């Protein structure tokens, strides 16, 4: 089965074609970073309009790169949520309409399930069951994964997610949008022990996260610190270490609680080098394995949507002609395959 995947949940337009036998045939991505940079964050209306302009040309490009025509596509998958309502509607409308015109089935994909399954695109995919740490944009979640659609949420952020904390702290430091990757790059030149930031919610039981207080602590330090490059690098390194320590500690706690030995880490923050190093050390100590998508598939992309949609289409799931999206959509509501 050959599936066209469409991702338009936020500020990146991702298109890909996945084949059951040949794997990923093509994937193209357009980022709106330059469009939103002047505003310091994503402007939903501008994001939706840009998806309208870019989605169809990118679909044509993906088809061309895969050496396919519309007749070669057996199904269409599009992100149906969670995300920005207007942006989601663009992809859903185009995806459902193309499927109707081509007389093919269509399926709406859960954005976070796409991230969770992204490591399955690699040469050595993880086997079920596993623990998943999803750190994407506004989400930080720990999930017990027994199979596709068999998800138990163990913990999540009760306020700012890790990615939001990175971006907001970077903005306080005067870094350009999106600031999270720039802060991580700056941290490589700093001393992670220069400032002592809190490790939120590690002093209480449970697997939930909270990064709002850490962001406030960083804001206070930034306001009092000097503006030298070294001081800024030290703040970045110390802040990053606090986030990474918190994520790693909660992963260790979840592994102990569940008895699982495999950990999947996905989403934009999963590309963070420091996080990868510490999680690798943790899993090595515990005799387990950690899996990631390749870095180009850590952020939003069409490949993960095409793959996740493929799994559900092959299982016989498909949408009716209704075009519907869910800006808020708990992953535990998904049906098991």
Q: Which residues are annotated as a binding site?
A: 111, 115, 134-138, 167, 180, 272, 300
| Cα–Cα distances in angstroms (integers) from residue 335 to residues 139, 308, 312, in the given order | 21, 13, 10
At residue 130, φ and ψ (nearest 5 deg) are: -155, 165
Q: What is the C-alpha separation between 193 and 247, in angstroms, rounded?
A: 18
Strand order in the sheet with 106-110: 23-31, 12-19, 2-7, 75-81, 106-110
Six token digits for residue 177: 């949008």
| 316 within 8 A of 133, measured Cβ to Cβ | no
What residues have CB less than 8 Å from 228, skipping those under 6 apart? none
Dihedral sign of CA atoms 83, 88, 91, 96 in order:
positive
At residue 194, φ and ψ (nearest 5 deg) are: -65, -35
What residues have CB less than 8 Å from 39, skipping those under 6 apart? 177
Q: Is the peptide bond before 82 cis (omega within 30 degrees of 0)?
A: yes
Extract the annotated binding site for Fe cation. 111, 115, 300
Q: What is the C-alpha separation between 187 and 99, in angstroms, rounded?
A: 46
Parallel, antiparallel, or unpaired: how do β-strands 130-136 and 139-147 relate?
A: antiparallel
Of the CA atoms within 13 Å of residue 193, those in its CB half-sphere come to 0
Extract the annotated binding site for substrate. 134-138, 167, 180, 272
């Amino acid at each position: 089965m050959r599936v066209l995947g469409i991702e338009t949940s936020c500020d990146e337009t991702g298109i890909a074609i996945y084949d059951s036998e040949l794997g990923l045939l093509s994937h193209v991505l357009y980022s709106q970073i330059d469009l939103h940079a002047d505003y310091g964050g994503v402007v939903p209306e501008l994001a939706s309009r840009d998806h309208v302009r870019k989605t169809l040309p990118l679909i044509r490009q993906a088809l061309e790169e895969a050496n396919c025509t519309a007749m070669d596509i057996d199904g269409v998958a599009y992100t149906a949520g969670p995300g920005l309502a207007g942006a989601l509607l663009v992809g859903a409308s185009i995806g459902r309409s193309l499927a109707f015109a081509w007389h093919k089935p269509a399926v709406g994909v859960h954005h976070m399930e796409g991230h969770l399954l992204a490591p399955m695109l690699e040469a050595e995919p993880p086997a079920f069951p596993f623990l998943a740490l999803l750190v994407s944009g506004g989400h930080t979640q720990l999930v017990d994964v027994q199979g596709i659609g068999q998800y138990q949420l163990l913990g999540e952020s009760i306020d700012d997610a890790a990615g939001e904390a990175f971006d907001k702290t970077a903005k306080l430091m005067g870094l350009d949008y999106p600031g999270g990757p720039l802060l991580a790059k700056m941290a490589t030149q700093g001393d992670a022990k220069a400032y002592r930031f809190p490790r939120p919610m590690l002093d209480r039981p449970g697997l939930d996260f909270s990064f709002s207080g850490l962001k406030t602590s960083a804001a206070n330090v930034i306001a009092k610190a000097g503006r030298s490059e070294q001081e800024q690098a030290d703040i970045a390194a110390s802040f990053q270490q606090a986030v990474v320590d918190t994520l790693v500690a909660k992963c260790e706690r979840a592994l102990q609680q569940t008895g699982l030995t495999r950990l999947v880490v996905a989403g934009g923050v999963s590309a963070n080098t420091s996080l990868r190093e510490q999680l690798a050390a943790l899993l090595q100590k515990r005799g387990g394995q950690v899996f990631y998508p390749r870095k180009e598939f850590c952020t939003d992309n069409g490949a993960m949507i095409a793959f996740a949609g493929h799994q559900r289409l092959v299982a016989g799931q498909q949408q009716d002609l209704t075009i519907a999206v869910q800006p808020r959509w708990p992953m535990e509501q998904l049906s098991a395959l």
